[in-house]
Amino acid sequence: AQSVSQHNHHVILSEAASLELGCNYSYGGTVNLFWYVQYPGQHLQLLLKYFSGDPLVKGIKGFEAEFIKSKFSFNLRKPSVQWSDTAEYFCAVNPTDNYGQNFVFGPGTRLSVLP
Amino acid sequence: SQTIHQWPATLVQPVGSPLSLECTVEGTSNPNLYWYRQAAGRGLQLLFYSVGIGQISSEVPQNLSASRPQDRQFILSSKKLLLSDSGFYLCAWSVWGGMNTEAFFGQGTRLTVV
């Protein structure tokens, strides 16, 4: 079965610091990869996604992620965080060999940005 | 455009009482539908998914069941709630048969069993 791990449970940064959240998955086949964000009191929203092509994908609000197939990783980055980036971030994997039936999520990383 | 509705937003139920949470999707046909439970520090746990009417796959054995009586309706139920059923329940949908699709989430239901 697929699984997703996220390296950090809680990350605390000051504004303007750089961010990198780690994500690794275990699955032998082809996958789609996602980062979702949940701002306080709001529903889960898609931040960015990777289906194929350029392994460096850009999402909303200045976020980007790089898919490294050999490492089964899909780390999320942002060069300079803002207080409004305070949220919980979830990495997810969706194997493509079952026609998108299953989305498996990591445990989440809580990001706190100090003003 | 597609929208997903989930209700109620919050629910407080006594132990041993039944449960029914409803989710409906508008603006798409034959979606894949999902029920997740979100627990602090554990991420989103997939409970059930459905690829069509009456077709339910259970990912985790538990006190809950799911049904899909109509194409765009997905119901999460329990005959007798346990304290451990407390949590945040999320409904989601994705495009059926789409290899490159994302999951779209509802607002969630906060269930407290007392």
**The CATH homologous superfamily of the domain defined by B3-113:** Immunoglobulins (2.60.40.10)
Domains and CATH numbers, chain A: 3-114 (2.60.40.10)
- Give me the pLDDT at residue A57, please: 97
Q: What is the pLDDT of residues B3-40, one digit of tens each?
A: 999 999 999 999 999 999 999 999 998 999 999 998 77
- Give me the pLDDT at residue A99, please: 58
pLDDT at B98 over 80: no
Chain A neighbors of B51, CB-CB under 8 A: 101
Helix and strand totals (H; E) in chain B? 0, 11
CA nearest neighbour of A94 among A49, A55, A59, A62: A49
Q: Number of C-alpha atoms within 13 angstroms, CB side, residue B32?
A: 21
- Give me the pLDDT at residue A37, please: 96
What does the domain layout of chain B look like in residue ranges? 3-113
- Give me the pLDDT at residue B71, please: 95
Q: Tell me which DSSP letter residue A41 carries.
A: T
Q: What is the pLDDT of residues B99-112, one digit of tens each?
A: 678 899 999 999 99
Q: Mean pLDDT in runs of 10 for chain A (115 residues)?
A: 88 97 92 94 92 94 96 97 96 79 88 95
Q: What is the pLDDT of residues B34-66, one digit of tens each?
A: 999 987 767 888 899 998 999 998 887 678 999
For residue B8, whether the previous peptide bond is cis, meaning omega lies within 30 degrees of 0, is yes
**Pairwise CB contact (< 8 Å): B43 & A90:** yes
Residue with tokens 């209700």: B7
Q: Tell me which DSSP letter residue A7 carries.
A: S
Contacting A with CB below 8 Å, chain B residues are 32, 34, 36, 41-44, 46, 49, 51, 57, 90, 92, 94-108
Surface-to-core class of residue A69, CB atoms within 10 Å of its CB (0-12 exposed, 13-18 middle, 19+ buried): exposed
